[in-house]
Amino acid sequence: MAPASRRNNSSLPAGYVEDKSKGPMLRFQDSLPKLPVPTLEETAARYLKSLRPLLTPSELENSTKAVQEFIAPDGPGRTLQEKLVARREDPNVKNWIYEWWNEAAYLTYRDPVVPYVSYFYSHRDDRRRRDPAKRAAAITTAALEFQKQVDNGTLEPEYMRKLPICMDSYKWMFNTSRVPARPADYPVKFDHAQNKYIVAVRKNQFFKIATEVDGQQLNTSELEQAFRRVYDLAGERVPAVGALTSENRDVWTDARAVLLAADPSNAKAVEGVEAASFLVCLDDAKPVTLEERAHVYWHGDGQNRWYDKPVQFIVNDNGTAGFMGEHSMMDGTPTHRLNDYVNDLIFNNKLDFSDPAVRSNLPDPKPINFVVTQEVQAEINRAVADFTSVISQHELAVQAYQGYGKGLIKKFRCSPDAYTQMIIQLAYFKMNGKNRPTYESAAVRRFQLGRTETCRTVSEDSTAWCRSMADETADGAARVALLRKALDSQSEFISAASDGKGVDRHLFGLKRLLEPGQAVPALYADPAYAYSCSWYMSTSQLSSEFFNGYGWSQVIDGGFGIAYMINENRDGFLCVISDLSTFRRPWVTASPLLRSEKTAPRPPAGIGSAFCSLLIFKTGGGPGGGGGGGGGGPPAAGAGAAAAEDEPPSTDLAASAAGSPLAFHRMPLGKYVLQYSLRSRNIWK
């Protein structure tokens, strides 16, 4: 997505009208098209196409019959389609799926928001601000500048394919919170004019920091002083009321009632946190490696947070920093822009952070005090125990590869995103001997209130290519031809999804319109329907020169969450992989967080090694190189190499990278695979 300032509004197609009375940010909002409803025939064809590589012939025959019955002239799909089209055409409905999706995908979802809903960005180091108070102050100053533009509507809209996109979700960025309730949570929005403050969290304690005094915003030096006072005032740890927000949503709903009933002042304390512009969590962790940082920003210790807030910046005691977002009302692209903006101002000196003046009349940070009774403490204890149990079951790996990146892939005349998706498919195939349903997020924000649609990555073409890579008799030219077909299929599906013509949201909407007691159509009762939307891999990509990682959880047990960045040659690839494992890792059993990282044993297997070995494999003999072998080699220094770890590379992995094109084995998960440097860049010539 190109920066908003680079777009020429005069080149917009007919139908887009600027309403300047709404301010720059929302000036196109009312003229954005409505999310379309695909025809039954379009969705049926795409759905069956997505099933073919996943099912046996007999299973596919059953599914085809169910689909044909559904879309037949007298089939149940016709009536449901008429209702859905009528909903879409209703002038009072801006987006036919918006309320349904927010409710079903997020607000009625009962699992904890951390780690299952929240996501994180890991910021690159700021070498001029190693001191955490300085880092926190600079981030806060820059974020407040962004908030001004959102609140007064002067933020420029974003564009996709040169078209303006929906900016409505920005209203849920600041001074907002998610609130637990049965059967569905709900969002709350507070008036910024009445709540000009942020909340800093240190050692489980919450402090209000006024961002404006006597009509003047605090400068960076004044904010730095305020953060230093928070460090001084925090003292020892207190009962972690914030841990309650890490619970299952029903459990948190009940615990919130216990908290509010414990003392009348607790209601005001809760609102004090929820109404803040945003949170700055001052952690006592000192993460160094990319994985350590990812764990801090993804979930932390489960206590020094308020997980219902959509914007939480995290600053560690060694000055490293990152971001955590709550997902229910806002997808990642707005907060991606926020974090890029903040870091751009800081790293490129686009804002004056050097004003040394500190007013003498500034108030101290104000503690937000909770009354913690025995009943509340019992809820906190349960929340901490449940959090520890959940997080201990999860594994996360960060794989950084700098041998090549977007620039070289474009020289292959390939889509970098589709290319990486095929690497992920081959990595999974390499581990399991088969491909399974894979989700890639496609943005539909060019429509009113648009959020996301599913791109179903697995295709007949992608599986054919994966099989060819396992076939030692296949020649390079055949593999290249199959890969190009797979890339075309991937690009076609994500393009259709971005145009509002994906499979999953349409089928979801039709099913939502079933009347109570109405017979469930065979299409939805077919096991293939549930299986095909069980996302064994949930994937998405973004690019930022300011991030050294981002990610989220897997969405099903036995699946993977795969976040990847494709930068230019200098930066290459960075992939963050999360999964649920029987392997237990003591991330949260010690304080400060992560102190036991170095003693944790290695997990038994993972897709990360397969992913990175295949990045390397792609640059060797591989497809188009004239041979079936990969291009690996011994550990090497220089470009594309990573620092050696404390054990030698796996011989199996070395054989996989350097010899046979594909070996079916479970490979140790470790960054040592990155020691294999590029051997050549002569493929695809």
Catalytic residue list:
327
DSSP-derived pairing of the beta strands 279-282 and 312-315: parallel
Do the bridges between strand 537-541 and strand 212-213 make them parallel or antiparallel, or are there none, so unpaired? unpaired
CB 319 within 8 A of CB 313: no
Q: What is the DSSP string of 331-399?
A: -HHHHHHHHHHHHHHHHTT-S--------TTPPPPEEE-----HHHHHHHHHHHHHHHHHHHTEEEEEE
Report the 10 Å Cβ neighbour count for 571: 18
Strands 163-164 and 366-368: unpaired
Amino acid at position 523, single letter: L
Q: Are 433 and 664 in contact (CB under 8 A)?
A: yes
- C-alpha distances in angstroms, 301 versus 165, 281, 293, 311? 37, 11, 12, 17
Nearest CA among 621, 622, 636, 618 for reference residue 672:
636
Give, rounded to a whole angstrom, the gap between the first and last alpha carbons of the chain: 30
Residue located via tokens 């009625």: 108
Residue of 307, 314, 313 lying closest to 240 (CA atoms):
307
DSSP of 240-301, one letter per residue? -GGGGGGS-HHHHHHHHHHHHHH-THHHHHHHHHHTSS-EEEE------SHHHHHHHHHTTT
Cα 632 from Cα 179, distance rounded (Å): 51
Q: Is 121 helix (H, G, I), strand (E, B) or coil?
A: strand
